[in-house]
Amino acid sequence: MHTVVVGTSGVTASDVLAVARDGARIELSGEAVAALAAAREIVDALAAKPEPVYGVSTGFGALASRHISPELRAQLQRNIVRSHAAGMGPHVEREVVRALMFLRLKTVCSGHTGVRPEVAQTMADILNAGITPVVHEYGSLGCSGDLAPLSHCALTLMGEGDAEGPDGVVRPAGELLAAHGITPVELREKEGLALLNGTDGMLGMLVMALADLETLYKSADVTAALSLEALLGTDKVLAPELHAIRPHPGQGASAANMLAVLKGSELTGHHQDDAPRVQDAYSVRCAPQVAGAGRDTLTHARTVAERELASAVDNPVVLPDGRVESNGNFHGAPVAYVLDFLAIAAADLGSIAERRTDRLLDKNRSHGLPPFLADDAGVDSGLMIAQYTQAALVSEMKRLAVPASADSIPSSAMQEDHVSMGWSAARKLRTAVNNLARIVAIELYAATRAIELRAGLTPAPASQAVIAAVRAAGVQGPGPDRFLAPDLEAADAFVRAGGVVTAVEPVTGPLA
């Protein structure tokens, strides 16, 4: 099994995906263990002094003015975890929780948190055992970190609360730790706070969304090209010299992808046939501009994610010169903004895909295709209601595009009076990504059927490869009406698994 080694300088997106989705094992580097021990010495020294230090010998948040005596400090750390583990609602997905824990471990290992090496090792042991704390949907405002979600994880570290075993069964966390020979942690000064104070949940969901969207944007370029082909559109608008004079990188990449897919097609360029056109509709002609703007948004979001992956997010932090200083680095605004940006871009990509699907089904705009791509229109409804489903998904995408980060709701007796709502932005983005995959799948379903109905004209080799692959995946072609939901489900699974890109690239070469 792949092993991810956690050091002091952060982790990569591929590390997060390996741990969250593939169950990769985790090891702590010698450098990380040494940094943990050195920072802990500083915290222990400060804890022994009579002067109060926030997070070490004081209360938290609006209660930070109280100095906590040494005999109460272990209780203080337990209490912050127990009281903050206040989430409600459905259980969060296993991959999200694993990413959340792994990214908190990444910050702990930076040497800036003052956590003991044995605490970090126990976090790694829990992940390696396949134990997943039960984390709930609601409880994070995205400031002072993802407090409730991280608290539920810390509770498992203490052997309390509930967790899911590697078999998927939820049991008391103490039982699961004992079954895997893991000793619960007795938290000491600052450790409870350090386990809760990070943007790890929203960052983990950002990293996974970026991976999924990268595949979906390539897939959407392919389905846009298939729709252009099925509509007998022109590929002249994809010429690189046209996109060079408006040099947005994403636009150029999308146009190049579409042009590569359409190479060798006999269906493109029929504008002067029976239904002459000067130009294709915007949803066809402007596909690279819309998808390209989304791609550039992905690039910006990836830059933010990379910076966060290299960051140590905690409050207070231990500095190399021995100071322990308070800060506001836990605020989730940088991550929240890009999560919202991505939801906006995804909604627009879904919207333009739906417009192309509708055009394929409308006999007045499809340039010779049967109404709704039906076998016997009137007796058969064809893909009429598939477009309804797609439209419903697009409508929800537009609602999900309303930015969570534009909101703020004060908390902690007005001490935490401006919050990011980044966790909420991440949760709705996950729904948006799932919806986008379904929308792309429906366009794929319609476009492949439409191409097959263009008798006498040979589609591009890349298009033929996609059609063959999607049919092999159980998505049926033209014919009389049948139970449509299984076909759409199979198309969705094909898109999510990267089947569109996998089918095309042996013909086109790697897509941008």
Task: Please identify every residue annotated as catalytic.
Answer: 54
Dihedral of alpha carbons 253, 257, 262, 263, sign:
positive
CA distances from 99 to 25, 162, 466 (A): 13, 18, 33
C-alpha closest to that of 44 among 32, 59, 56: 56
Q: Containing H/E element for 507?
A: helix 499-508
Token pair listed for 480? 């009389």
Query: What are the start-end ranges of the E strands in 248-393?
Result: 317-318, 324-325
Angstrom distance (rounded) from CA 489 to CA 438: 8
Give the three-class secondary structure for 15: helix
CA distances from 71 to 68, 113, 195 (A): 8, 22, 21
Cα-based angle 413, 419, 422 (whole degrees, multiple of 5): 140
Query: What are the start-end ranges of the E strands in 71-167?
Result: 88-91, 132-133, 136-138, 162-164
Find residue 318's DSSP bridge partners: 324
Output the CA torsion 490→491→495→499 (10° steps).
Answer: 80
* Residue 67 DSSP class: B
Measured in whole angstroms, the distance separating CA 72 from the mean position of its chain's CA atoms is 41
CA distances from 239 to 74, 161, 284, 338, 512 (A): 67, 59, 14, 31, 15
* Residue 4 DSSP class: E
Give the three-class secondary structure for 162: strand
CA distances from 268 to 102, 233, 259, 280, 456 (A): 49, 5, 11, 11, 13
Which residue has tokens 């790694």? 124
Q: Containing H/E element for 132?
A: strand 132-133
Angstrom distance (rounded) from CA 68 to CA 77: 11
Measured in whole angstroms, the distance separating CA 19 from the mean position of its chain's CA atoms is 15
Give the three-class secondary structure for 265: coil
Token pair listed for 193? 């706070």
Bond from prior residue into 316 cis (ω within 30 degrees of 0)? yes
Q: According to DSSP H, which parts of 189-280 are helical?
A: 191-196, 200-230, 240-244, 249-262
First CA to last CA across the chain, in angstroms?
30
Angstrom distance (rounded) from CA 225 to CA 511: 13
